[in-house]
Amino acid sequence: GENVEQHPSTLSVQEGDSAVIKCTYSDSASNYFPWYKQELGKGPQLIIDIRSNVGEKKDQRIAVTLNKTAKHFSLHITETQPEDSAVYFCAASRVQAGTALIFGKGTTLSVSS
Amino acid sequence: DVKVTQSSRYLVKRTGEKVFLECVQDMDHENMFWYRQDPGLGLRLIYFSYDVKMKEKGDIPEGYSVSREKKERFSLILESASTNQTSMYLCATSRGYYEQYFGPGTRLTVT
């Protein structure tokens, strides 16, 4: 079955620096790759996603890149702020009936001011 | 806004008890999911449902069952709670195959 590896497990940056989180997946048929942010005491929330027909997607300070050949995708956060501190999860899935998202183990991002 | 509510934020149960965790959504989403979240292990799928009275096993269904009698409600059942089921339980819903909306979670402690 699908397996998603996520690195690093923890990441500490200074405010204003960039942060990069990387994920690899095993199922070459996967074609949907979302990223979720989980703040303390809350459930995860979708922040950006990418489908396999594009290589990059950007939304203000966050961007996701996808390399289907290498089966890896990355989250990039620029100009980090203290409110970016949270746990981030990547996930992958085939978009078809009977399948579900497979999540990575998460990255705890700490942004210090 | 999508609202996903879970019956309890914190729950303490004894070993061997039958435990019900309830999830209710108000957006008429056809898909509902139950995950457990443990430190260092991320989110692991227990069961999911694509329609009323329909269920599919996820990655870790052992020791759990589910019930979906109405579209808006998805229940997770621990038939005989054990200490290794102490965890955070998260419910999620989606329309179609894409964005999932999560509830706030239930932190279950089994003693």
C-alpha separations of B58 from A46, A74, B2, B55, B95 in Å: 21, 25, 24, 10, 18
Percent of chain A with pLDDT over 90: 89
Is pLDDT of B96 > 90?
Answer: no
**Subunit contact A43:B58, Cβ cutoff 8 A:** no
Q: Is A30 on the interface with B (CB under 8 A)?
A: no
Size of interface A-B (CB pairs under 8 A): 55
- For residue A97, which residues of chain B lie inside 8 Å, CB to CB? 50
What's the pLDDT tens digit per position in A53-108?
A: 889 999 999 999 999 999 999 999 999 999 999 999 999 998 877 778 999 999 99
Q: CB distance A105–B92 less than 8 Å? A: no
Average pLDDT on B40-48 reads: 94
pLDDT at A52: 83
Q: What's the CA gap between B34 and B47, in Å, rounded?
A: 6
A chain contacts of residue B4, beta-carbon cutoff 8 Å: 43
Report residue B33 as tokens.
């999911």
Using a CB–CB cutoff of 8 Å, tell me whether A98 touches chain B. yes
Chain A positions in Cβ-Cβ contact with residue B42 (cut-off 8 Å): 6, 89, 103-106
Q: Which band of pLDDT confidence, cut at 50, 70 and 90, is reported for residue B92?
A: very high
- What pLDDT, on a 0 to 100 scale, did the predictor assign at position A98? 72
CA gap A26, A18 in Å, rounded: 27
